[in-house]
Structure 1
């Protein structure tokens, strides 16, 4: 298999893990763990795993000037991203969360234009506008089914979650040309854990694993190892080979997987606003990807 093929396979596996994660993580909250308790457990275990594995993969030392970028990646890609994701998911439904996440490539391209100087034509501008409209429509809908106690707040936090993660993807890409995925991730997780720790302290006093069922142990293991350690690593490694835009395309697997699981196992309903929002977001990204510059980048993957 070519390097490009391995990168795409890594992104497919990552997408599958993330797609199921919406329901797995939702099953932990609030019956077994609170959002900040999950973030602490996820961050600590993943941090230890990253540093242990990185020890066996020797790489060049990180330049001092790059630690500022790594710290920013830890803040946006770990601390803010995960806090908004778990708190938001606790308030809204997994399908809503996955559909809002499908707008991430639009946000990535917007940050690429603002921060990396990527040119924006009329198609890109139209695509960004449509994608933003679809995400906004979904965020503002407050009557969706799915068990969330406050969908407006939850959906807003999920939107901020993808804004933070999109910024992380744009910032981490240049580092991939200099360092291995393990080197980058061990520092990103270290900085992210440090930033998140002060907000997790209160919840630690109430954290207990005595009430955990077999499902709860499976769920926390899946969240920590599957969607944190494995998925972050696969996505970061793939960015050495494919563009940020290509990596972003695979986010579209997530709402499909989440919706399929929800409809089959949890009687989740796809309402008209959800369908309309998805159409707007997907059309927006289609227009963005019609840009010749994007097609040229896609050919490299």
Structure 2
């Protein structure tokens, strides 16, 4: 029971950090760093941190047969989902992107039922739908739709990102059952770095480090160390105890915490729509994360 509560706390912390990241990352890009250049910085910096961390943890040998799964996890969990999300976000409006992104828990529930035969319990399905309704209300009301240069392609790329992340959550679950997180995650980020390198090198190379203010350096460091390295570890802690569909439902909390953070900074105002949306999201997450009365 203690381990499960720790896993739920870790998943909640990830949502809080991502909620803050939306505001922090927007200050860094595209003014100082291009989107793909920023991805290269995130993945490369995190790969370095994971290799350094691995030096001080107990060593395990990875079976050669597991490397195809690790490479697939790098593709779906690092390269494809980051590149399609950032590119999609640049083509569509942030609101459309956020609405599509929160379909991830439903995608994961369906993929989990098909691939790893996870049971689709009525309570869990109802909780996911309730969270989706709450999130849609939170995103759609009281905000401007914003400009979209190619909404159709942008929305498609964001949807590819959501499906990609769903596949990743299922792929990495098997690795979590077999190895310590530090054993394989350094490889996921190393392969991920090699995959994003051709896309991000030009933008990374074009960064004018001398013109970058100190606060932008700190915000970029926050995204690499806290929003990427730390959240990845917290996600792995939560996935050790929770099913992929339960971990995925915490995506609903991200726009909620982003709104709370914006209100705290005076960039947003509290309204009944936001309060009702928050209630629906919390009830939905509660229903999904509640353990069955019967032991399975």
Please report how far the alpha carbon of residue 212 of structure 1 lies from its aligned counterpart in structure 2 after TM superposition: 1.1
Question: How many Å separate the matches in 2 of 1:196 and 1:23?
Answer: 23
Offset from partner CA, 1:215-270 (integer Å, 9 cap, x none): 31122111101111000111012211222222223222211111233455474689
Offset from partner CA, 1:202-224 (integer Å, 9 cap, x none): 22331221221233112211110
Please report how far the alpha carbon of residue 74 of structure 1 lies from its aligned counterpart in structure 2 after TM superposition: 0.2
Please report how far the alpha carbon of residue 103 of structure 1 lies from its aligned counterpart in structure 2 after TM superposition: 2.5
Task: Describe the SS at the equivalent of 2:209.
Answer: coil
Report 1:201-240 matches (<5 A).
201-240=201-240
Aligned pair in 2 of structure 1 residues 13, 133: CA closer, same or farther (>3 Å)?
closer
Aligned to 2:28: 28
Aligned to 2:54: 54
Report 1:87-102 matches (<5 A).
87-91=87-91, 97-102=97-102
Q: TM-score of the superposition, structure 1-length normalised? A: 0.79
| 1:259 matches 2:255 | no
Q: How many residues align?
A: 291
Does the CA contact (< 8 Å) of 1:88 and 1:157 recur in 2? yes
Task: Describe the SS at the equivalent of 1:183.
Answer: helix
| 1:166 matches 2:166 | yes
| 1:243 matches 2:243 | yes
Please report how far the alpha carbon of residue 148 of structure 1 lies from its aligned counterpart in structure 2 after TM superposition: 4.9
Please report how far the alpha carbon of residue 120 of structure 1 lies from its aligned counterpart in structure 2 after TM superposition: 4.7
Question: How many Å separate the matches in 1 of 2:93 and 2:217?
Answer: 22
Question: How many Å separate the matches in 1 of 2:246 and 2:125?
Answer: 19
| 1:196 matches 2:196 | yes
Aligned to 2:144: 145
Aligned pair in 2 of structure 1 residues 14, 129: CA closer, same or farther (>3 Å)?
closer
Offset from partner CA, 1:57-97 (integer Å, 9 cap, x none): 12321101100000000001000111123333445565654
RMSD: 3.9
Aligned to 1:19: 19
Please report how far the alpha carbon of residue 7 of structure 1 lies from its aligned counterpart in structure 2 after TM superposition: 1.7
Task: Describe the SS at the equivalent of 1:58.
Answer: coil
Does the CA contact (< 8 Å) of 1:16 and 1:253 recur in 2? yes
Does the CA contact (< 8 Å) of 2:169 and 2:244 recur in 1? yes
Question: How many Å separate the matches in 1 of 2:35 and 2:232?
Answer: 19
Question: How many Å separate the matches in 2 of 1:98 and 1:213?
Answer: 29
Aligned pair in 2 of structure 1 residues 37, 218: CA closer, same or farther (>3 Å)?
same
Question: How many Å separate the matches in 1 of 2:155 and 2:7?
Answer: 31
Does the CA contact (< 8 Å) of 2:74 and 2:189 recur in 1? yes
Show structure 2 runs of 5+ residues with no match: none
Task: Describe the SS at the equivalent of 2:31.
Answer: coil
Question: How many Å separate the matches in 1 of 2:64 and 2:135?
Answer: 38
Show structure 1 runs of 5+ residues with no match: none
| 1:39 matches 2:39 | yes
Task: Describe the SS at the equivalent of 2:241.
Answer: coil
Aligned to 2:292: 296
Q: TM-score of the superposition, structure 2-length normalised? A: 0.80
